[in-house]
Structure formats: C-alpha cells, structure tokens
C-alpha cells in the first residue's frame, strides 16, 4: 500500500502557522514512507474564498520548502461536488441517512432524550427531499466507534452520544463533514494527520467511511498550538500568519525547525538541528499529547542563530529585499540610488551578529545610505548633555588631524580625547555615535566611521555641534 497523506487548507485568509506545522508533518511522514503528499484546497465556501488567498497558500508552502511540482495537486474541493452529492444519495438510498425538516428551534425544544442534540425525530417518518429538508446520517443506536490514532491510541466514542448529524443542507448541498470524507476516499488518502481540534468530528467521519463501504484511514491527531495563555492561536488575537513572519525577515529554515518542535523533539539535548536530521528522526508516535506553546520569543532566538550561521555572502543576499525595497512591506528610508553595496558588504559581518530578523538590518545600517542620519530625539536628549558640544569640538579637531582613517586609529584618538576630560571611552563615544548614526546603539562605532568615511563623518559631527549652540 502506498501511503497517501493530504494537507487540506481553506483559502480564507493568511496562512496559519499551525497549518504550516501540519503541512510539514504530513510532508515528512510521506517522504519517510515513500508515499505521496496531496494538496487539496477546500474552497466550497465561495463567500469566503479569494484566488489570492489560494496563491498565498502555494507561496507559503514554497517558502517553507514544500515546493510546487513536488506534490500531487493542488486539487479543489469544489471540483468534486458531484461526488459529494452522489455519496449523499447513496447513504439515503441505503437507509443510512434520512430527511428532516426540523428547525433549530424544534431541535432545542426536544433536547433531553437519549440523543445528544437532535433526538432522531424524523428517523422513521419517511420524509422525502424538498426545500428545507436536511439530510441526516443515521447514527447506530448501540455500540461504540473506536478511532485508531497513531498518537492518541484508541479513543472510543459511544454511538448513542453521537447525534444524527446533518450531511446535506436543505438546499441539497453536502456539508463539509461529508465532503471531506468523500474527497479523502476519492484521492485514496491512507493517513489523516491533523490537529486535535478535529478529533471530536473523527467518529462521525469514520462512521461515514464505513457506511460508504470503504476502510477508514489511519488517524493521527497532533496537539493544538496555543499562545502564552494556553489559548488556541487565533487569527483575531495572535500573530499567526506565516507570511507576516516571512515578511519580517524570519528564515524559512528557522521557521521549519521551530514548527517541528511544537509537540516533538529530536534526540539528545538539542533543538536547533539540520533539516535532514528532522526528516530522519521525526516519528508521529513520539509526538506529545499536551498542547504546543508557540513562543514567539523563542522563535526569534532561533532565527538569530540561523542568521549568524549563514555564510556572509548568503547573509548579504538574504538582506537585499529590505535594502532595496523589493519584496517587503516597508520600503527603506533611502532611495535605491543611495544604496551602496560595497559599504554594506563592509559592515555586513558586524550586522549579522546583532540582528534576530532580517528587517532589523535597516535601522542598523541606514546611516550609511542617507545624506544625514535619522535622529532619535529621545537618544539625542539623553546623550547630548553639558559638555557634549566641547567634546565634539575636540573630537572633530582630532579626527581632522588623522593621517590614517581606520577603526583602530579612530578609537585610539577618541580615547585620548576622552582621557583629557577624565572620561572613559563609553562616555566619550556616545555623543559621536548619536551625531553620526542618530542612535545610541548600533554597529561598532569605529568600524562604522571607517566605512562612512572622513568627510561624511566630520560633516555630521559639525552639524550636531551646531545644533547644540
């Protein structure tokens, strides 16, 4: 038997990080088993679907390493509508489903019988199809439904506690529950790997598989992803869009690595490991049962480690979208013609050790590409105190006399200026840093001044001095 898994997102917005984790888990499992990964877009809710959201799903999968052409699909659920209706008809013809015209108010009025929710009122009344007549599945009165789950063992559900659930609406359109089962049957899905939030629906789906005469798939329900308050990640409340992390400058490798740790861990006392190790070691039966905490701070730390591990040339390439304003949400504060690739290459190794996401490159290097620095007024107020004007005068004079404009000479010269005033280097360089870069923190100062050059450095220091008059 060839293992066939599927990832079946709905194109109703940005791509959820929890969905990305499920996609990766399915992808790895299929690869380990020599199987097939199927992508199905569940697009039957036409009112909520947009073509650009489908493209967003494909692009997000590309980014995390599940590239187009390497999987089967994408298929679209809406294209299988005929099979959905045919399955509903077979269930009715076989006596496994019946029509019901009860309204929600009717159901609520009769709650309290042996059934949970709907009480089976129309089970044997022979109602035929018609406007407002929903089709309900006839759940067995006795026995139980056992779900064989690779992670959770064998959850067991008493059939008498499962109501006769709707499988087709009053207008004849099948509901998602039935469509999902029929699609999996049509595509020959052997394993369904998804979040535990779907577990309550699983006995209903398994009953549908059995009623349609097909052996159910093997299930695997991975833990739900939660925020720091242990609430399920919500698009309305939490930062969950994979695209947002991509556009902020998270590396795909870091994101893949971190997502796979949500509910599972590689061998040994380690978390940051090569993708090849994850592909080799991941096991569904080793996934934890408890909820998985999506810790953005930890992800950020992961990303910083991945950035620092890049060869410098790759780091320079990775920063280009933010430096040139292509492919990012916010353009840089300089014009394209002001960007100096050689100057950036000179400071790239310094910047690489100081940023955790690629978008942070801009405030670290913007002083190199602007005619004048963007002054952080709070930094200016904090730094430019009594004595700063005279210190800048002395520093300008000392720098003007330098024969060699290099980081070592600049440092020793400014140290001497500060020593004459009884100041340590940290206090001495603060006004110079704000004058030249506009900020109190950033890249190493003297290496920055070397790259910025004598003329631009002195011009900025003189401008800052004039502002202190």
Backbone angles phi, psi at 37, to 5 degrees: -100, 125
- 235 given a catalytic annotation: yes
Beta bridge partners of 16: 241
Catalytic choice (235, 239, 382, 424)? 235
Side by side, the strands of the sheet bearing 97-100 are 97-100, 134-137, 166-168
Distance CA 26, CA 77 (A): 19
Cis peptide bond upstream of 74, omega within 30 = yes
State whether residue 423 is helix, strand or coil: coil
What CA–CA distance (Å, rounded) separates 376 from 380? 6
Straight-line distance from the first to the last Cα atom of the chain, in angstroms, rounded to the nearest whole number: 82
Q: Which long-range contacts (CB under 8 A, 24 or more apart) does 93-98 make?
A: 94/211, 95/138, 96/137, 96/138, 96/211, 97/135, 97/136, 97/137, 97/138, 97/167, 98/122, 98/123, 98/124, 98/125, 98/127, 98/135, 98/136, 98/138, 98/164
Give the separation between CA 227 and CA 230, rounded to whole angstroms: 5
Q: Which residues are tagged catalytic?
A: 235
């Amino acid at each position: 038997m060839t293992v066939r898994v599927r990832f079946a997102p709905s194109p109703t917005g940005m791509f959820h990080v929890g969905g990305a984790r499920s996609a990766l888990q399915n992808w790895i499992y299929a690869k380990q088993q020599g199987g097939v990964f199927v992508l199905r877009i569940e697009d039957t809710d036409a009112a909520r679907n947009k073509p650009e959201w489908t493209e967003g799903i494909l692009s997000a999968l590309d980014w995390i390493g599940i590239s187009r052409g390497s999987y089967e699909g994408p298929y679209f659920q809406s294209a299988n509508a005929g099979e959905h209706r045919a399955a509903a008809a077979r269930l009715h013809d076989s006596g496994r489903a019946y029509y019901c015209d009860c309204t929600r108010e009717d159901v609520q009025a009769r709650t309290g019988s042996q059934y949970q929710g709907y009480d089976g009122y129309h089970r044997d009344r022979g109602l035929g199809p018609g406007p407002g007549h929903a089709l309900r599945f006839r759940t067995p009165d006795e026995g139980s439904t056992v779900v064989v789950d690779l992670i959770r063992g064998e959850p067991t559900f008493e059939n008498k506690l499962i109501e006769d659930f709707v499988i087709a609406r009053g207008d004849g359109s099948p509901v998602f529950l039935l469509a999902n089962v029929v699609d999996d049957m049509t595509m020959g899905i052997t394993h369904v790997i998804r979040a535990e939030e779907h577990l309550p629906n699983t006995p209903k789906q398994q009953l549908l598989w059995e009623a349609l005469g097909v052996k159910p798939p093997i299930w695997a329900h991975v833990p739900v992803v939660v925020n720091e308050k242990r609430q399920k990640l919500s698009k309305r409340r939490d930062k969950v869009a994979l695209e947002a992390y991509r556009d902020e400058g998270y590396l795909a490798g870091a994101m893949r690595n971190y997502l796979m740790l949500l509910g599972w861990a590689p061998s040994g006392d380690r978390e940051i490991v090569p993708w090849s190790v994850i592909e080799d070691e991941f096991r569904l039966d080793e996934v934890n049962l408890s909820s998985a905490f999506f810790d953005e701070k930890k992800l950020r730390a992961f990303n910083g480690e991945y950035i620092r591990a890049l060869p410098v040339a790759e780091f320079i390439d990775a920063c280009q979208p933010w430096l040139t304003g292509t492919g990012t949400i916010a353009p840089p504060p300089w014009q394209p013609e002001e960007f100096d690739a050689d100057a950036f290459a000179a400071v790239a190794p310094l910047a690489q050790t100081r940023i955790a996401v690629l978008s942070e490159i801009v405030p670290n290097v913007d002083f190199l590409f602007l005619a004048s620095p963007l002054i952080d007024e709070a930094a200016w107020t904090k730094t430019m105190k009594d004595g700063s004007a005279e210190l800048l005068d002395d520093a300008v004079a000392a720098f003007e006399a330098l024969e060699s404009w290099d980081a070592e000479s600049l440092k020793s010269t400014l140290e001497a200026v500060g020593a004459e005033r009884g100041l340590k280097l940290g206090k001495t360089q603060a006004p110079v840093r704000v004058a030249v870069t506009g900020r109190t923190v950033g890249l190493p100062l003297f290496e920055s001044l070397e790259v910025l050059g004598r003329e631009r450095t002195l011009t900025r220091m003189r401008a800052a001095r004039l502002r202190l008059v």
